[in-house]
């Protein structure tokens, strides 16, 4: 606690050199909370974060379950040059999905000009684990028709959705397609979903 107060004080006085020394010598650190504190110090000091910092802070929000900061980041990201950064958007979708804010995740996905396999998997799995079965399978099917080849994570999302909804026939069909057409070797997650059917 004293270390955090010193860190804050040095940053307020523009002494980032001393703030860094304090941070480095702190013996007991809650790394997630300290990372958030360090980010706050950056903001107070006028240091502009890069996209890697934003991704790190978003991951911390997910790990310490601080939705408030995640929501602040949601307002912050579009104001910066990060709204078109695929990695930032993918991480933002993951955070929203973990908190059950799937509509925010959907908005991020829909606003993305460029999407990757990770983008598609993030939204599919996000829908699936939050009980939005129809949406998970709809996006899974859209992905199959698009340029991205479904992988083991995509199928985990589809099978999770089927498992949550008790869609036995659909789940078995996806499992069969996964092996025979896409040549994806079933992992423990896939077998777990089949058992849950």
Return the higher-pLDDT residue of 15 and 180. Answer: 180
pLDDT for 87 equals 93
The CA distance from 40 to 153, in Å, is 34
pLDDT higher for 42 or 136? 136
Confidence band, pLDDT 50/70/90 cuts, at residue 51: confident
Nearest C-alpha neighbor of 105 from the set 122, 118, 117 = 122
- pLDDT > 90? residue 117: yes
Mean pLDDT of the chain: 85
Question: How far apart (Å, rounded) are the C-alpha atoms in residues 112 and 178?
Answer: 27
Q: Using 50, 70 and 90 to split pLDDT, how confident is the model at 152?
A: very high
**Alpha-carbon torsion angle 94, 71, 39, 25, nearest 10:** -70
Torsion, Cα of 169, 172, 173, 174 (10° steps):
120
> Is the CB of residue 159 less than 8 Å from the CB of residue 171?
yes
Reduced to 3 states (helix: H, G, I; strand: E, B; else coil), residue 49 is coil
Which band of pLDDT confidence, cut at 50, 70 and 90, is reported for residue 17? low
**pLDDT category, 2, cuts 50, 70, 90?**
low
Of the candidate ranges 27-31, 86-90, 102-106, 137-141, the one whose mean pLDDT is the lowest? 27-31
The answer to whether residue 10 scores a pLDDT higher than 70 is no
Q: Which residue has the tokens 């939005």?
A: 132
Q: How confident is the model at residue 7 (pLDDT cuts 50, 70, 90)?
A: low
- Rounded (10°) CA dihedral 18, 19, 24, 27: 110
DSSP letter at 132 equals: -
CA distance 15 to 98: 36
d(CA 87, CA 161): 25
Stated pTM of the model: 0.77
User: Which residue carries 């896939």 as its tokens?
Assistant: 190
Q: Which of 2-16, 37-51, 56-70 has the lowest mean pLDDT?
A: 2-16
Give residue 143's pLDDT: 94
DSSP for 21-53, written as a single string: HHHHH-SS--HHHHHHHHHHHHHHHTPPP-HHH
Which sequence spans correspond to the domains of the chain? 1-47
Under 8 Å between Cβ of 103 and 77? no
Once rounded to an integer, what is the mean pLDDT over residues 42-56? 86
Residues 6+ apart with CB under 8 A from 16: 10, 45, 47
């Amino acid at each position: 606690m004293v270390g955090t107060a010193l860190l804050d004080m040095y940053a307020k006085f523009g002494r980032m050199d001393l703030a860094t020394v304090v941070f480095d010598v702190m013996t007991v650190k809650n790394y997630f909370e300290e990372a958030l504190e360090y980010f706050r110090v950056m903001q107070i000091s006028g240091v502009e974060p890069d996209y890697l910092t934003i991704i790190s802070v978003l991951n911390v929000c997910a790990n310490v379950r601080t939705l408030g900061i995640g929501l602040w980041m949601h307002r912050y990201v579009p104001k910066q040059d990060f709204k078109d950064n695929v990695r930032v958007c993918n991480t933002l979708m993951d955070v929203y999905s973990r908190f059950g804010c799937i509509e925010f995740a959907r908005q991020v996905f829909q606003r993305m000009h460029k999407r990757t396999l990770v983008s598609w998997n993030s939204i599919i799995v996000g829908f699936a684990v939050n009980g939005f079965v129809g949406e998970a399978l709809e996006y899974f099917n859209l992905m199959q028709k698009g340029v991205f080849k479904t992988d083991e994570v995509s199928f985990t999302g589809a099978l999770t959705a089927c498992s949550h909804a008790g869609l036995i026939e659909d789940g078995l069909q996806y499992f069969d397609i996964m092996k025979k057409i896409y040549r994806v070797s079933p992992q423990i997650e896939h077998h777990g979903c089949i058992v849950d059917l």
